[in-house]
């Protein structure tokens, strides 16, 4: 029971006004341990210590020049392992479906889930949007166009309640995969994606594992972009579009294509391919990682699924000659060559998988104070009173 004076405590409505959030968000803070509620004798409703509210308010952006620390319960990269909500991702990749792992990331519960829905009218809309793209467009180009059009066609897209967001994400994933050119099949997301990327006999377990292993990877640049959009309370489609935009950079999503092309040369002559790459002065695609020190667990898990493929012999030869270790980009490239995937399939696979993670991060961000990201800009232009011909200020 609260015995302190009322001036030391705030009601739910007062907290919501102070933090500029909805009352529902206050309850989320309580469930996550960010705020503690108390009951006052003779009063209805919960009260919150003003000091605790101010501490939480200080984390929101009410002044310029702040970059927020991001707390997340989703993925952990530690000791060369990747965990989703405390579970080994490489174990989930071989024991769970994509749909179940998505539900785990979105809710914290690992339970059996149905296939992602794909309403025919939405598939038709997405396919029509994809067909507008020129013949030279990559699969990721088609995905970006379709996401924008599907968002425009969803009148309920502005609903940011968790259930609404998860429903939209499930439908978006199902529709995007089914709308891609190629045969439409049933089953897990990997089974449905297979005929879109390969004409070989389906091995959906391989694609399911890859989708799970690529679903989230901490605060990668595309995830930061997605969270910034969610912080502005952009709807899920806009959040995904922000992530796709950052993913398109050659330092991020395009890394799988670089690894694919390098491995294509290496399958013909590993030594010559490596020699040419070293001569270029550029890093060898598909090797090393900024975070992992000795191994990439995602790559190891995917290589195990390709154990009988001749592609692994070339990778082994490369590994013996290249400092560092193979990463997930090379593993995806190996999977693509082993099963004759489309050359642009790696980036599309990465994008589809990461939509799962972006959705999970958006759900976290929607429960935080809005507009909490802003970097400090250091002005280096003309003095305020100067004309256009004035000399530029010198950097300190």
pLDDT at 1 over 60: no
Crossing angle of helices 23-31 and 12-19, rounded to 10°: 100
Q: How far is CA 62 from the centre of its chain?
A: 27
Say what the pLDDT of residue 394 is: 54
Distances in Å between the Cα of 300 and the Cα atoms of 313, 320, 389 are 14, 16, 59
Which one of 1.10.10, 2.60.40, 1.20.1260, 3.40.210 gives the CATH number of domain 6-57? 1.10.10
> Facing residues of 37 across strands?
48
34: Cα within 13 Å, side-chain hemisphere:
21
**360-366-371 Cα angle (round to 5):** 125
Say what the pLDDT of residue 45 is: 78
pLDDT tens figures, 14-40:
888 888 788 888 887 887 677 888 876
**Superfamily in which the 86-372 domain is placed by CATH:** Citrate Synthase, domain 1 (1.10.580.10)
pLDDT tens figures, 189-215:
999 999 999 999 999 999 999 999 999
pLDDT at 354 over 70: yes
Q: Strand, coil or helix: what is 61?
A: coil
pLDDT tier, 386 (very low <50, low <70, confident <90, very high otherwise): low
The closest alpha carbon to 118, from 60, 67, 178, 163, belongs to: 178
What does pLDDT average to over the chain? 91
Q: Where are the domains of the chain?
A: 6-57, 86-372
6-57 and 86-372 have identical folds: no
pLDDT tier, 55 (very low <50, low <70, confident <90, very high otherwise): confident
- Return the percent helix, strand and coil in the chain, to nearest 5: 55, 5, 40
pLDDT at 235 over 80: yes
């Amino acid at each position: 029971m609260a015995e302190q004076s009322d001036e030391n405590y705030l009601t739910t409505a007062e907290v919501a006004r102070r933090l500029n959030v909805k009352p529902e968000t206050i309850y989320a803070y309580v469930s996550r341990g960010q705020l503690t509620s108390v009951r006052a004798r003779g009063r209805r409703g919960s009260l919150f210590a003003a000091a605790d509210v101010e501490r939480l308010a200080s984390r929101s952006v009410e002044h310029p020049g702040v970059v927020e620390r991001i707390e997340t319960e989703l993925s952990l990269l530690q000791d060369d392992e990747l965990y989703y909500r405390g579970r080994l991702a490489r174990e989930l990749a071989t024991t769970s479906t994509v749909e179940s792992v998505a539900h785990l990331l979105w809710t914290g519960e690992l339970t059996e889930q149905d296939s992602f829905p794909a309403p025919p009218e939405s598939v038709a809309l997405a396919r029509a949007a994809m067909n507008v793209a020129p013949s030279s467009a990559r699969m990721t180009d088609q995905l970006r166009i379709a996401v924008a059009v599907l968002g425009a066609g969803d009148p309920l897209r502005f609903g940011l309640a968790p259930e609404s967001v998860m429903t939209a994400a499930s439908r978006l994933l199902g529709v995007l995969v089914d709308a891609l050119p190629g045969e439409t099949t049933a089953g897990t997301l990997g089974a449905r994606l297979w005929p879109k990327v390969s004409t070989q006999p389906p091995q959906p377990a391989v694609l399911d594992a890859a989708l799970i292993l690529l679903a989230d990877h901490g605060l990668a640049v595309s995830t930061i972009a997605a969270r910034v959009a969610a912080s502005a309370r952009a709807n899920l489609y806009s959040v995904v579009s922000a992530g796709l935009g950052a993913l398109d950079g050659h330092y991020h999503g395009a890394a799988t294509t670089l690894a694919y092309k390098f491995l294509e040369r290496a399958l013909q002559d590993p030594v010559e391919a490596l020699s040419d790459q070293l001569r270029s002065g550029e890093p060898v695609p598909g090797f090393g990682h900024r975070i992992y020190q000795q191994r990439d667990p995602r790559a190891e898990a995917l290589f195990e699924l390709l154990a009988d493929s001749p592609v692994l012999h070339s990778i082994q030869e490369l590994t013996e000659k290249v400092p560092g270790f193979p990463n997930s980009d090379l593993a995806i490239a190996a999977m693509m060559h082993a099963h004759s995937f489309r050359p642009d399939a790696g980036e599309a696979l990465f994008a589809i998988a990461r939509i799962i993670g972006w959705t999970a991060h958006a759900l976290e961000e929607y429960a935080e104070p809005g507009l909490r990201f802003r970097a400090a800009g250091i002005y280096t232009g003309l003095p305020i009173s100067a004309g256009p011909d004035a000399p530029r200020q010198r950097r300190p």
